[in-house]
Amino acid sequence: MRIKHIVNKQHMLFIRYIWVYKTHMCFIQLLVVINNQNMDSRKNKDIDRREFIEISTKGAAAISLASFPVLTGCSNIETAKSSFGACYHDCPDRCSWKITTVGNKLKDFQASKNNPYTAGKLCNKMINFPNDVTFHLDRILTPLKRTGQKGSGEFIKISWEQAISEVASRVKGIIDQKGGEAVLPYNFGGNQGLVQGKAIPNRFFAHIGASQLERTICGNAAVAGVLSTNGQTTGVLPEDIIHSKFIILWGTNPILSNQHLWPFIQKAKSNGAKIVTVDPFLSKTSEEADWHIQPRPGTDTALALGLMHVILKENLQDQEYIDSYTLGIEELKEHVQKYDPDTVAGITGLAKETIIEFAKAYAQNTPSLIRVLIGMEHQVNGASAFRAVAMLPALTGAWRHFGGGLMHMTYELFGEALNWESISLPPTLANPKTRLINMVELGKALNNSEINPSIDALFVFNSNPAVTTPNQNLVRKGLERNDLLTIVSEHFMTDTARYADYIFPATSVLENWDILDSWGTPYLNINEPAIEPLGESKPNSELFRLLALEMGFKETYLYESDINIVKKTLESDHHYMKGITFESIRKTGWAKFNLPEKWMPHAEGNFKTNSGKCHFYDPNMESRLPDFIPIEYSDKEMKQYPLHLLTIKTPKYFLNSSHANLNHNLEKEGKYCLEVNPKDAAMRNIANGDELKVFNQRGRVYITVRISNKVKQGIVCMPQGFWPSLLKGGSSANALTNDLLTDMGRGGAIQEAKVEVVKI
C-alpha cells in the first residue's frame, strides 16, 4: 500500500509503511503527518553510494569536496537543487553548509561562504563528511538483531517491522513489570539538532515515565560556575574578540576544538593583541601563543584567586565598577588573603613571579578578554574554577570595554529567541518526577543491584558511551548484563552498538530535517534533507514515533512531524528573530540574530544574578566564595599511582569518538601515544617509542610513549576518542578515568585520574 503525500515544493514523494498500516489502520491519518519529511526509499541505494564514493574520491583528490564532477550516468532531466544544512556536532562552531544534488545524487558539499563565521571552511573532521558517514560502506542501513554474545558484534538483518514489534513488546513488558523508570535513555553530543536530539525523543521517554538522564558530561560544571558569578554565560561574542588587546585562552584549545574562532584571534593578534594560554598541556594553541602558563591540572581556582590577590594588593582593580556592579568585594578581599603568590605557586607549580606578572599584565592591558570553554571543567574543582575566573573581568572592569570581559557560551541567546514550546515537553509531561541518573555514572547505575527498579532497558542514540563515558570497564560490565535490553540507534557498529540487542539505522544529517541552535555563536541554522534516507535508515524522531505507535499510544504530541517542529520553533516574535522566518532562513540556511551592533552585556552591570550584580560572594550558596579544595590522596595511593592522567581532545580528526573508526583518520592521527615528561621517563627507564602499560585500579591501556616537555613532571597525557575495539588490549582512555562528579553542576571530573606506567 502506498500513500501519496506532498512533502514540500520540491518533492512529490511516496511513503511505504505497509506493515504499520496493516496493523494500525486507525493511524493512517496520523502517519501522513508523521512521515511528511520522509522520502521515497528508492532502489539501488547501494549503487548510489558506491558511485558517490568512487566519483568523489576521484573528484576530491584535493582537500575540498567542492569540485565534484556532475555524476556520470545520471541521465536525469532534473536540475540541480541546493539544500542548506549545518554541522550537528557538539562543537562551538556550528558551521553552515550548502549541498547540491541532482535527483537523489549528491553533487557538491561545501561550507557556507557567506556565513562570516563559517567563512567557507569546514574543519578537517567534516570536510569529507558525505564519504565518511553518509555514503560510507560500513554504515548500518538496516535494523539488526544480536545473534552472538554481547559485545561480539554478531548480528542478523531484520525488518523494521520485526524490530519495532519486538522492541516495543519487550519494553512494554519491562514497564508493566517494573515501571517506566526501569528504562533509561542515553543520548548526548552525537547530534545536537533540536529535533533529532531533543523534541520527539524527550516526549517519548517522558511519556513512558522513563528515568531521566542528567546530561552533564559536557558544559554543566562550566555553566554552573559562570552562572554563580554572572548569572549568564553569554559574554563577549566570538567575532568581537578582534577588539581585544590581551587574550587569555584559559583551558581551551581553539586551534583544534574551536577552529573558526582562531582566525579572529589571529586578527586580534595582528592588531597587537597578546595571546596567553593557561593549560597544563602544551596544546597546539599554546604552541602558537605568546605566553603559555602551565599550572598543574585542576588548580585553576587557586590561580584565579591568586591573581585577584595580586590585583587587589597592587590596587589594580576598577573600584568604580566594583562599587556599582558587584557584590561582596570586602569578603573577597579577605578571602584571597590566603591565596598569596607563594601559596598559589605551591599549589599550581608555577613560579611566584609568573603569577605576579600574569596578574599585572591582565589588569593593565585593555581591552582584556578571558576565553573559557569546557576543557577546564572536567576536574573535581571544575565549577569553582569557572566561578573564580569569571570574577576577574568585574574586578578589573574589563567589561566596560568593547572586546573585553569573559567569552564563554551563547546558548542563552537561543533560549530567549526561539519558540521552545515546540521543543520542550508538552504541559502534561512537563517537570517529570521520575528519578535522575547521571550520565557520568552510567557504569555504576547499570551495575547497581540495589537501585529499585534496576535499569532493564537502555536506549542509546547520539552517543557512544562504551568509548566516551568515564570508568569504561564498569560501563562495559553493565552493557554485558544478559538481563539488560540494549537498543542502539547508530550509523556505525560502534563499541557501544556491539553490545546492543537491537540496532536501528539512523539517518545522517544529510537525510533529515532539523533546526540547530549553537553554544558558541549567535548564528541559527536550519537543516534540510538533501537526499532521501539511504537504505532503511530513519531519523531518530521516526524511531520513537514508530515505537509509540506500536506501543499503542494515542497522544498527538508523540507524532508531530519534524518539519512542523522546525517551523514552530522559528515562530517567534522575539526581537533577535526580527526578519527571520522559516521561509527566509531556507534561502541561506543560517541567520545571525539581530543583536545590537556593540554587544557589551555587562558594560553597566546587568548581571543576571538575583541581585543584578556580579557575585564575588554569594550569601545564598553553600560555599559563599570559591575555594581550592583538592582531592586528598593517601601516601599509599600516591605511591601506587603517582602520575596525574589527562585524557583530552588532542585528536585532530575525531570529534570525541565520532570519525575515530575511519582508517584514513586513524592513519593521519598516527600512533596512539602517551606524552610523558623526560624526568618521569628516566625514573622508569623508559625510552622514546617504548610500549607501555598505563594502569590504575580501574583498568589498563597499552600505548606507545612519546617523551616530551608537553607535560610537566608528574603528569601524563593521552588522547580521548579512540575506540577500544581498535586498540591493542581493547581499552582506551576512559578505562582509566573516574566517574567522580564535579563540585557543582554534577559534571564529570574526568581529568581527576591517577595512574602508573610500566614498560612492557
Ligand X SMILES: Nc1nc2c(c(=O)[nH]1)N[C@H]1C(S)=C(S)[C@@H](COP(=O)(O)OP(=O)(O)OC[C@H]3O[C@@H](n4cnc5c(=O)[nH]c(N)nc54)[C@H](O)[C@@H]3O)O[C@H]1N2
Local structure of residue 495 (DSSP, 8 states): T
- Residue 227 or 359 having the CB closest to Mo ion: 227
When CB distances are held under 5 to 8 angstroms depending on the partner's kind, the choice from ligand SF4, Mo ion, ligand X, none that residue 491 binds is: ligand X
Binding ligand X (rule: CB under 6 A), the pick from 48, 132, 181, 279 is 279
Instruction: Decide if 5 contacts 32 (C-beta within 8 A).
Output: yes
- Measured over the CA atoms of residue 23, residue 29, residue 35 and residue 41, the dihedral's sign is positive
- Residue 513 or 523 having the CB closest to ligand SF4: 523
Q: Hey, is 264 helix, strand or coil?
A: helix
Mark the segment that binds Mo ion (CB under 5 A) among 212-220, 298-306, 579-587, 718-726.
212-220
Is residue 647 close enough to count as binding ligand X by CB under 6 A? yes
Kindly write out the interface string for residues 519-558 of this chain, putting x where it contacts ligand X by CB under 6 A and - elsewhere.
---------------------x------------------
Task: List all residues 6 or more positions away from 137 whose beta carbon is below 8 Å from its beta carbon.
Answer: 49, 50, 53
Is residue 122 close enough to count as binding ligand SF4 by CB under 6 A? yes
Smallest distance, Å, CB 125 to ligand SF4? Answer: 5
Q: Could you tell me what percentage of the chain is helix, strand and coil, using 3-state DSSP and rounding each to the nearest 5?
A: 35, 20, 45
Is residue 659 close enough to count as binding ligand SF4 by CB under 6 A? no
Distance from the first to the final alpha carbon of the chain: 63
When CB distances are held under 5 to 8 angstroms depending on the partner's kind, the choice from Mo ion, ligand X, ligand SF4, none that residue 281 binds is: ligand X
Distance between CA atoms of residues 692 and 701, nearest Å: 8
For 116, phi then psi, to 5°, come to -65, -20
CA atoms within 13 A on the CB side of 183: 23
Is residue 374 close enough to count as binding ligand X by CB under 6 A? yes
Closest CA to 682 of 664, 709, 700: 709
Binding ligand X (rule: CB under 6 A), the pick from 48, 240, 300, 669 is 300
Residues 82-141 that bind Mo ion (CB under 5 A): 90
Please report, for residues 227, 612, 672, the alpha-carbon distance to residue 609 in angstroms, rounded to integers and kept in the order given: 8, 5, 45
Smallest distance, Å, CB 427 to ligand X? Answer: 27
Distance between CA atoms of residues 535 and 559, nearest Å: 23
For residue 605, the surrounding DSSP H or E stretch is: none
Among all chains, which residue has been given the C-alpha cell 605566553? Answer: 291
Is residue 680 close enough to count as binding Mo ion by CB under 5 A? no
Closest CA to 693 of 749, 634, 643: 643
When CB distances are held under 5 to 8 angstroms depending on the partner's kind, the choice from ligand X, ligand SF4, Mo ion, none that residue 438 binds is: none
Among all chains, which residue has been given the C-alpha cell 518526577? Answer: 433
Which grid cell is 399? 567589561
Residues 378-397 that bind ligand X (CB under 6 A): 379
Smallest distance, Å, CB 95 to ligand SF4? Answer: 3
**Cis, bond preceding 367 (omega within 30 deg of 0):** yes
Is residue 218 close enough to count as binding Mo ion by CB under 5 A? yes
- Residue 322 or 530 having the CB closest to ligand SF4: 530
Distance between CA atoms of residues 325 and 606, nearest Å: 8
When CB distances are held under 5 to 8 angstroms depending on the partner's kind, the choice from ligand SF4, Mo ion, ligand X, none that residue 298 binds is: ligand X
How many DSSP H helices and E strands does the chain contain?
28, 29
Which grid cell is 38? 520522509
Distance between CA atoms of residues 527 and 514, nearest Å: 5
Residues 636-655 that bind ligand SF4 (CB under 6 A): 655
Smallest distance, Å, CB 485 to ligand SF4? Answer: 33
- Residue 90 or 501 having the CB closest to Mo ion: 90
What residue type is 20 in one-letter code? V
When CB distances are held under 5 to 8 angstroms depending on the partner's kind, the choice from ligand SF4, ligand X, Mo ion, none that residue 122 binds is: ligand SF4
Which grid cell is 278? 593557561
When CB distances are held under 5 to 8 angstroms depending on the partner's kind, the choice from ligand X, Mo ion, ligand SF4, none that residue 190 binds is: ligand X
Which region holds residue 612: left if phi is over 0, alpha if psi is between -120 and 50, else beta? left
Binding ligand SF4 (rule: CB under 6 A), the pick from 13, 34, 126, 757 is 126
Is residue 94 close enough to count as binding ligand SF4 by CB under 6 A? yes
Residues forming contacts to ligand X in the complex (CB under 6 A) are 90-91, 188-191, 196, 217-218, 250-253, 256-258, 278-281, 283, 297-298, 300, 373-376, 379, 461-465, 468, 489-492, 494, 506, 540, 646-649, 651-652, 654-658, 720-721, 733-734, 737, 750-751
Q: Which residues bind ligand SF4 (CB under 6 A)?
A: 87, 89, 91, 93-95, 122-123, 125-126, 259-260, 655
- Residues lying near Mo ion in the complex (CB under 5 A) are found at 90, 218
